[in-house]
Amino acid sequence: MPLDLTLAQAVVFSDSSGPAVAAVSDPFPDALNAAVLDVATRFGARPPGVSVPAAVFATPLLRSHVAVVQLADRPGNTLGFRFLVLPRRLYEAIGDPFLIADRFRPDWSARGPLPPLSWPPDPLPPRTVAEVAAVLKDGDGPFLLGATQGMLDGVRVVLVRPAPDDSIARSLWKLLPTRSRGELWPATFAFNRELGFHLAVLPAVPAPLPPGTVNEEQAKDYPQGRYELALQIAAEDGDQRELDRLFARRTSRDTLRLAVLILVGAMLAAVASKLWQ
């Protein structure tokens, strides 16, 4: 079945009275309208003295959609949310919320009806071994490798910054397997962990850390895993073929789905053989 390439959009402003929808594409079902307001509410109240020049996060929206959300401070102590809402299958195929956000810049002056958007059918640009090597060389390699392995192992990562940190989230997303990127939720800045981000930049972190969560220093010391080691070796050796293999790695959900299909196939084959005896 071909992918639905349509993206809906909505602009929401939140102030002391709560969030309200200012502009929305047509059609935009009531269920999605309620969902975007819920996300804006759960994003939380602004901590004192915290500003948001610009940030991006991704989060599931209902069971069938994903929202890539651009946010920024607006006049009057108001926080603006621009929601790009796309089918989950399309999001999983793209796997990069930053690529989506970069393609569709927000218009904070928009009011009333908005046109739906469309994702181009062109193939996505491949990630090259030179890009990965540059990310590890120019960034904090121990943190990036440890955080990558940790998130693949089911650990959540939090960083403390006074303002959004876009570069570190983008660097991490350069290192993750393609399928895993469609199942993990980053935030370049958030007021709290309410939306369940796997990677979140926060103005403060609760102490003690919740179970299954590591901070920046703990991520640097995260036990080395097979994926992290293989990624580092591929980057150092300039091995594009091995890098492509690593990026094509199955997720645990993929493995479970395959196991279920094999089991169902075996059961159907057993039933068929009995019927033909």
Can you give the residue ranges of every domain in the chain?
6-118, 129-247
Between residues 252 and 68, which one has the greater pLDDT? 68
pLDDT of residue 253 exceeding 80: no
Can you tell me the distance from the alpha carbon of 117 to that of 137, in angstroms, rounded to the nearest whole number?
37
Confidence of residue 250 (pLDDT cuts 50, 70, 90): confident
Q: What is the mean pLDDT of residues 94-112?
A: 96
Length of the chain: 277
b/e map 20-32, b = 16+ CB within 10 Å? ebbbbbeebeeeb
- Residue 18 confidence (pLDDT): 95
Q: 29 vs 10, 35, 62, 180, 182, CA distance in Å?
A: 11, 10, 12, 29, 24
Q: What is the mean pLDDT of residues 121-148?
A: 96
Between residues 270 and 66, which one has the greater pLDDT? 66
pLDDT of residue 277 exceeding 90: no
Q: What is the mean pLDDT of residues 125-140?
A: 96
Sign of torsion over alpha carbons 165, 166, 170, 173: positive
Confidence of residue 62 (pLDDT cuts 50, 70, 90): very high
- Residue 208 confidence (pLDDT): 87
- Residue 247 confidence (pLDDT): 97
Q: CA nearest 178: which of 258, 124, 138, 223?
A: 124
Q: CA nearest 159: which of 195, 137, 194, 188?
A: 188
Residue 69 and residue 188 in contact, taking contact as beta carbons nearer than 8 Å: no
Output the CA angle 126-128-130, nearest 5 degrees.
160
Q: What is the mean pLDDT of residues 119-129?
A: 94
Confidence of residue 274 (pLDDT cuts 50, 70, 90): low
**What is the value of pTM for the model shown?**
0.88
Residue 75 and residue 83 in contact, taking contact as beta carbons nearer than 8 Å: no
- Residue 229 confidence (pLDDT): 97
pLDDT tens, position by position, 181-223: 999 999 999 999 999 999 999 999 878 899 999 999 999 999 9
Can you tell me the distance from the alpha carbon of 147 to that of 219, in angstroms, rounded to the nearest whole number?
5
- Residue 92 confidence (pLDDT): 96
79-83, 105-109, 199-203, 268-272: least confidently modelled range: 268-272
